[in-house]
Amino acid sequence: MRSVIDDWSPRNDITTPLSGTPTFYNSGIIKALSTSNEKISVGQIDYLEYDEENFQYVITPYWDIIDGLTSDVFQGIPGIDMNLRLRHYYRVNYVPVFITERSPSENREDLWELLEEVGLDYYDRFEWLLRTKMRAANDNLIVERRRNESICIKYGEEELDNLQYGDKMIVDSIEDFGNTNTGFSKEFYDVLIRGVDVVDNDENILVEALQRASLIRLLRYQQLLDKKNRSNKQQIGIEKARENGAYKGRKPINVDAHVLEQTVYEFRQGIISLDEAMKRTKIGSKSTFYRKIKQLEKR
């Protein structure tokens, strides 16, 4: 694992950070959506506005999480060279590709309709993005609003979706996350991919940032192994049932092809949620919905 660079020399005015105190600040967390709809925190993007109409965006990759991810989950943040492994990437008086790819331009005909839909009466690409779940067509990244202050909670007192990178979770011991291998790996993994620090009752960190990437990769491998073992056992059961003439197979779910194509398109664009997509196609399980997507892509 290569070290993160803090002393990189800027190449031009666009990458040279502004100094001074900003007059306005806004912040979001960049998250990668897995095929099972897990939200994995991969970075932070901040907007800082200064006097005399100067501004800058700062993108901060969460390397302690990124280094534990495989390429099928995360392929990088558009517009920045992640091979440089910088602590911070600056874009001064310049809107980053990450923003322009997933927000409306000032010349778009339906711009004010899009702004009104999220309650905006002024043009702000970043704020618009924070109020939507918009994705670009060529990646699996979204951005959600980031709280300015971190919180510290006792395990089980807060929904995981409400926690963000840098928050602290107090546990009596690591064993709190589950008493079975499957339950433990799933719960612990869900905490780690959010960048939440696990601490004991004296707030001593139990999982260091340098350990996080290794643990994420290990727990993910364990989950995949458990899934494979369950699938193998299920297949053995099916074969036995088939030999006894008791297995009739799963009845396929019929979905209108046009409805499915339109729904999948809107879901991938972030226009509708997973729940809305399943409701519209009358599909009752997430696994079936994602299977329908894969079948559609193979056509």
Q: Which tokens go with 31?
A: 């998250």
Listing DSSP states for 231-270 in one string gives HHHHHHHHHHHHHTT----PPPPP--HHHHHHHHHHHHTT
In this structure, is the dihedral angle defined by the CA atoms of residues 135, 138, 140 and 143, taken in order, positive or negative?
negative
In this structure, is the dihedral angle defined by the CA atoms of residues 277, 283, 287 and 289, taken in order, positive or negative?
negative
State which fold the 147-249 domain adopts.
Rossmann fold (3.40.50)
Local confidence pLDDT in tens for the 299 residues of the chain: 689 999 999 989 999 999 999 999 999 999 999 888 889 999 999 999 998 789 999 999 999 999 999 998 999 999 999 999 999 999 999 999 999 999 999 999 999 999 999 999 999 999 999 999 888 878 999 999 999 999 999 998 888 889 999 999 999 888 888 878 888 888 999 999 999 999 988 888 888 877 899 999 988 888 778 777 777 777 777 677 777 766 665 666 777 777 888 888 888 877 888 888 888 888 878 888 888 888 777 66
Provide the 8-state DSSP code for 5.
Answer: B
* Alpha helical stretches, state H, 3-138: 63-66, 97-100, 111-117, 125-130
pTM of the entire structure? 0.76
| Cα three-residue angle 274-275-281, rounded to 5 degrees | 90
Q: Where are the domains of the chain?
A: 13-145, 147-249, 257-297
Using an 8 Å Cβ cutoff, are 64 and 209 in contact? Answer: yes
